[in-house]
Chains A and B, each alone.
Chain A
């Protein structure tokens, strides 16, 4: 039984296909090591929640998945992240392509200071799509997928920053969906949003997981229990446990996970 626990948690415990495979991931900011030897396989078409106390490396891990950490100084990475058969950090992989296929929504909604339409169309324009009709169709489709079309269809030309916080976040989701990613990363997407808007976004995620793979960092354990199918528990830069959500929250395998879940710690 103990040797079971000694095994790298996460690599084998999936029933579905694997969207992202993380192997021996070690991350350093200068001298400080932020992530230690992470091994995990994210299943497709489901919501994977990443939970853990503050400072445990959840956001760092998430940002590794679409190479956003490269924007920070002194960032160093060892290990591989396999997506579609290739290591996304290899030299012959185009980071632009990675970020188009693995999208991200941030904690604080950050729409561009432009109109609602231009926010969603931006991802398409930078790919060179100029035809008005094409843009119109994709913008409408994305806003519908993000369940915000009805609220904004009559004011697409108005500034995005005039929307409420919850609406802005759904707009950011629509913006991310417009470039048709396969994986959607969400970094505490509802922590800055009121509870009713949070509920709508959670509903949206349950709908989206049918067509996308979703990885979501959350501080809110109840949210993880509500929304996700698999959960990963991080602590001090290590992946402690990765399993089906139902198992983690009812019968966690590791003592440290149990301490966090029950509130004895964190």
Chain B
């Protein structure tokens, strides 16, 4: 009855908890506020300049007559090409490294190298693209060369994130598949890859977003800053109605156009740059939205 042990008084400082969460909140708010400030400034400057003419005109010496037609079409071409090249190669490489390759010193070396490549400055990739694709393969300053260069840039990121996604699939799923008499490829194709696809797509989204904003490597391989034409339209009037000749045309992209305008003294060009930034953000969001939709669809197929 007596001698019930007294519940000890708290000896730790409850304020440490609260101070830490307040600091965390403040830092987060700071980041968001700065981003919002930039966005609002850009929108206020550029929104008035956005109209159909702006989107369908080519650059000009006069800021009021200048447009981003070539730039956003170029950005679209480059993004799609980069995704089409880097995604299958990256996922295949990750699948091979994670599922097929034997774990020895060679695969360890490859893994370390890929991680390093993900951190290499993008201009180095530009130089690589210049040497191999533009000069050696004679692709000149084409969309194909630009797309291949950017694919190299994002490939390590896609491989790394895909490997992580594959690793999260528990071994028990693979075992269950093998025990039913499935081959290795059947197991990977029917169980492992579909289950890992949401994670793989997340990594691909991040990689693609990075590619969209790249300027240095594209300038290095020779993307133009003043383009008064579009790459050849893939939809043609004659049979077979679809061609990819446009891949060999010179091009420009939105980041380069923005950079070019921002360097000019006239105020009109600063407004143009703001408007172009809005368009670039819009394209980024759209491509991200497509990828998120794809991820949502694949998530529905995997019913954890």
A residues apposed to B, CB below 8 Å: 66, 68, 71, 73, 96-97, 99-100, 103-104, 106, 108, 110-115, 122-123, 125-127, 158-162, 172, 175-176, 179
Q: Name the contact of B180 in the complex, choosing from A97, A108, A126, A159 (C-beta under 8 A).
A: A126
- Once the chains bind, are B172 and A106 in contact (CB under 8 Å)? yes
Docked complex Cα distance between A106 and B175 (Å): 9
Q: Name the contact of A68 in the complex, choosing from B170, B175, B302, B303 (C-beta under 8 A).
A: B175
Is B304 engaged at the interface, CB distance under 8 Å to the other chain? yes
Residues of B with C-beta under 8 A to A122: 177, 180, 182, 190
Is B101 engaged at the interface, CB distance under 8 Å to the other chain? no
Q: How far is the CB of A155 from chain B (nearest CB, A)?
A: 12
Residues of B with C-beta under 8 A to A73: 103
Docked complex Cα distance between A255 and B45 (Å): 91
Q: List 12 A-B contacts (CB under 8 A).
A: A73-B103, A99-B180, A103-B180, A110-B170, A110-B173, A111-B176, A113-B302, A113-B303, A114-B301, A114-B302, A115-B303, A176-B179
- Once the chains bind, are B302 and A96 in contact (CB under 8 Å)? no
Docked complex Cα distance between A111 and B172 (Å): 9
- Once the chains bind, are B176 and A127 in contact (CB under 8 Å)? no
B interface, over-half SS: helix
- Once the chains bind, are A106 and B303 in contact (CB under 8 Å)? no
Given contacts A122-B190, A126-B186, A161-B304, contact A113 B180 (CB under 8 A): no
Residues of A with C-beta under 8 A to B178: 68, 71, 99
Q: Residues 230-245 of chain B: 1 if any A CB is under 8 Å from the residue's CB, otherwise 0? A: 0000000000000000
Docked complex Cα distance between A126 and B303 (Å): 20
Q: Residues 281-304 of chain B: 1 if any A CB is under 8 Å from the residue's CB, otherwise 0? A: 000000000000000000001111
Docked complex Cα distance between A160 and B181 (Å): 20
Docked complex Cα distance between A96 and B103 (Å): 24
Is B21 engaged at the interface, CB distance under 8 Å to the other chain? no
- Once the chains bind, are A126 and B176 in contact (CB under 8 Å)? no
7 shortest A-B CB distances, which residue pairs? A159-B303, A100-B181, A110-B172, A123-B180, A104-B179, A99-B181, A110-B176
State the interface size on chain B (CB cutoff 8 A). 21
Q: Name the contact of B303 in the complex, choosing from A71, A104, A160, A172 (C-beta under 8 A).
A: A160
Docked complex Cα distance between A45 and B191 (Å): 33
- Closest B residue to A67 by CB, please name it: B178
Is B152 engaged at the interface, CB distance under 8 Å to the other chain? no
Most chain-B CB neighbours within 10 Å: which of A108, A123, A126? A126
Q: Name the contact of A110 in the complex, choosing from B103, B175, B183, B303 (C-beta under 8 A).
A: B175
Q: How far is the CB of A82 from chain B (nearest CB, A)?
A: 20
Docked complex Cα distance between A99 and B187 (Å): 14
Residues of B with C-beta under 8 A to A103: 179-180
- Once the chains bind, are A126 and B304 in contact (CB under 8 Å)? no
Residues of B with C-beta under 8 A to A172: 176
Given contacts A99-B180, A100-B180, A126-B180, contact A112 B175 (CB under 8 A): no
- Once the chains bind, are A113 and B175 in contact (CB under 8 Å)? no
- Once the chains bind, are B190 and A126 in contact (CB under 8 Å)? yes
Docked complex Cα distance between A112 and B181 (Å): 15
Residues of A with C-beta under 8 A to B274: none
Docked complex Cα distance between A103 and B195 (Å): 24
- Once the chains bind, are B182 and A68 in contact (CB under 8 Å)? no
Q: Residues 148-191 of chain B: 1 if any A CB is under 8 Å from the residue's CB, otherwise 0? A: 00000000000000000000001011011111111100100011
Residues of A with C-beta under 8 A to B177: 112, 122
- Once the chains bind, are A161 and B303 in contact (CB under 8 Å)? yes
Q: How far is the CB of A2 from chain B (nearest CB, A)?
A: 42
Residues of B with C-beta under 8 A to A106: 172, 175-176, 179
Docked complex Cα distance between A125 and B175 (Å): 17
Docked complex Cα distance between A111 and B170 (Å): 12
Given contacts A110-B172, A114-B303, A159-B303, contact A99 B179 (CB under 8 A): yes
- Once the chains bind, are A112 and B176 in contact (CB under 8 Å)? yes
Q: How far is the CB of B181 from chain A (nearest CB, A)?
A: 4
